[in-house]
Structure 1
Amino acid sequence: MMMRLRRGYADGPYGQIHYWDGGRGKPLVLVHQAIMSANEFDNVFQPLLDRGIRPIALDLPGFGLSDPPPFAPGIPDYAAAIPPLLDALGIGRAAIGGHHTGALVSNEAANLYPDRITAAILGGPLLLPDPVRQALIDDIVAREKAFTALPEAAHMVEVAKVRERYAAGSVSHARITDYVVQAMQAFAMGAYWYGHNASFNYRQEGPLMALRQPALILTNTGDMIYQAALEAHRMRPDFAFHAIEGGGIDILDQSPVEWANAAADFLDGVDYA
């Protein structure tokens, strides 16, 4: 039987934080990639519940239905939303896991709040040479800053075409439409470029080496940043590692059960006490 998660709001550092909560099981905070929302995890909620994991997915500030911060945040600013969320749910300690931007937030939250975070799942570490980092800022962040509403919703069509190209036929048109809706929520709040700006300006090498909790590098071979996951595993061979075959940036929809099972298998060996 499919269980529908309950939704709620917590008072965060920049206003209200919207979240979905599975309500039972071992708590796992889930952090989405830019420019999406907690709904990125729609198709992994049930497989996690089936494995005894309590999924708690938040909309990062400025995304989904969470209030935007009054400034362009960095990854540590996003991580500051995690303790108030746990407090609102009466949870002392939890694991955390994220995808792309969410993986960086998960790494940072584990380092900043080691008394609250028991383990980290890094779904796509981002280790970039400085020239590549600057090129991404000059390209993606600049285009997101310039993104504007156009007649006949042509700007939404533009997002849909980009996401269809990334998905390469592996994601339904209905789900692509949902991706556009998630992106437009951030656009409506003026936070459209915040996530990638924070990600590309975050140097994960130091935080990755500083991470002391058990961790899983969860990647897929078709991810555009797959090589960074391999480098992260080389740097931290003590971390667990799981690579799903194929897929792309939409791996949570392309292989949701394998993603959830990899996370649950890892968490089976983690002490939540």
Structure 2
Amino acid sequence: MTLSGGRAVESGGLHGTLYATAGPQAGGGQRPAYVLLHGIGVSHRYLSRLHRELARDADVYSFDLPGFGGTPRPPRQLQAADYAAFVLGAMAAERPGTFVVVGHSMGSQFAVEAALQAPDRVTAVVLMGPVVDAARRSVPRQAAALTRDAMFSESPGANSIVFTDYFRAGPRWYLTELPVMMAYAMEDRLAGVAQPVLVLRGARDPVARLPWCRRLAAAARNGAVAEVAGQGHVFQHTAAGVAAAAISSWVRAPDGFGVTA
């Protein structure tokens, strides 16, 4: 499921694709804005349903990040901070003002780095299915969790998008970035984020388990955790309406947000 109107963007010598849905706010001015960041190996496609749901009431920007979704391969391994800098540079050229950054899986690492790099622009952070669980910090354990998720928690359509994107990214770039994902100190980096943070997971997700998500919410200065019932790791695709409602409700009132969705 691909969004229309994607266009090439460049920042800091890196190249990606941006998909933007923006409109005027009633009474003038800008609408709220979300920036959606995908995880390792995939693209904007598994975020497209969430993009459309959030775009009912907000401006939404989704990326195919450098090296993924058919974009040019960078000449070197990129760190999470490099991806964040690319997104912030592209957004500076695209839209003045502030936004909420929403990252899924490895994209949650990019979201944290964006919040740290641009506290004046990033107003809040949503971590969907964040990785890597500190209690399972090994490639075999992560692979086993992803396999269980694909077999027992995801729809055929979600699996088709994810595995097609893995094929497009190719094993070389995936394996180049995998050590970056595995080594990222999420709890330590998250402790420096001053903005409100929502940790959102599918209740059947074996990758981002509830104890880990609770630890992340506790590590944040102003953190909350919520679950989307009956869903796996890719809940933003399989339950996009519920995910969008949870995110937008929390953004409107982060201090009074509940613990389930």
Question: For the residues of structure 1 that align with 2:153 and 2:213, how far apart are their CA atoms?
Answer: 25
Shift of 1:36: 0.6
Q: Could you tell me which residue of structure 2 aligns to residue 150 of structure 1?
A: none
Q: Which residue of 1 aligns with 2:219?
A: 235
Aligned equivalent of 2:114, options 109, 112, 116? 109
Q: Which residue number in structure 2 is paired with residue 251 of structure 1?
A: 235
Runs of 4+ more than 6 Å apart: 162-165
How far the C-alpha of 1:27 sits from its partner, in A, is 1.5
Q: Is the 8 A contact 1:97 1:120 kept in 2?
A: yes
Query: Where do residues 59-74 of structure 1 align in structure 2 (5 Å cutoff)?
Result: 59-74=64-79
Aligned to 1:10: 9
CA deviation after TM superposition for structure 1 residue 68, in Å: 2.2
Provide TM-score, normalisation by structure 2.
Answer: 0.82
* 1:38 shift after superposition: 1.0
Q: Do the aligned residues in 2 keep the contact of 1:209 with 1:236 (CA within 8 Å)?
A: yes
Give me the whole-angstrom Cα distance separating, in 2, the residues matched to 1:230 and 1:164: 21
Report the AA paired with residue 10 of structure 1.
Answer: V
Fraction of identical pairs, as percent: 20
Q: Is the 8 A contact 1:20 1:57 kept in 2?
A: yes
Question: Structure 1 residues 176, 98: CA separation in 2 closer, same or farther (over 3 Å shift)?
Answer: same
Aligned position for 2:244: 260
TM-score (norm 1): 0.79
Shift of 1:176: 3.0
Aligned twin of 1:35:
41
**Does residue 1:82 correspond to 2:87, yes or no?**
yes
Partner of 1:210, secondary structure, is coil
Q: Is there any run of 5+ residues in structure 2 with no aligned partner, and where?
A: 24-30, 255-261
Cα drift, residue 111 of structure 1: 0.5
CA contact 1:128–1:228 (8 Å) conserved in 2? yes
For the aligned residue pairs, the C-alpha RMSD in angstroms reads: 2.5
Q: Deviation digits for residues 222-264 of structure 1, max 9, x if unmatched?
A: 1122231021123337323221123222212221111111111
2:231 is paired with a residue of what secondary structure?
coil
The answer as to whether partners of 1:223 and 1:248 remain within 8 angstroms in 2 is yes
Give the 5 Å matches for 1:144-183. 166-168=150-152, 170-172=154-156, 174-183=157-166
State the structure with bigger RCO (CA 8 A, min sep 6), 1 or 2. Answer: 1
State the one-letter code of the partner of 2:36: L
- What SS is found at the alignment partner of 2:39? coil
C-alpha distance in structure 1 between counterparts of 2:148 and 2:234, whole Å: 10
Sort the Cα spacing of 1:194 and 1:107 in 2 relative to 1 into closer, same or farther, 3 A. Answer: same
In structure 1, the gaps of 5 or more residues are: 144-161
- Contact conserved, 2:193 with 2:220, CA < 8 A, in 1? no
User: For the Cα contact (< 8 Å) 1:240–1:266, is it kept in 2?
Assistant: no
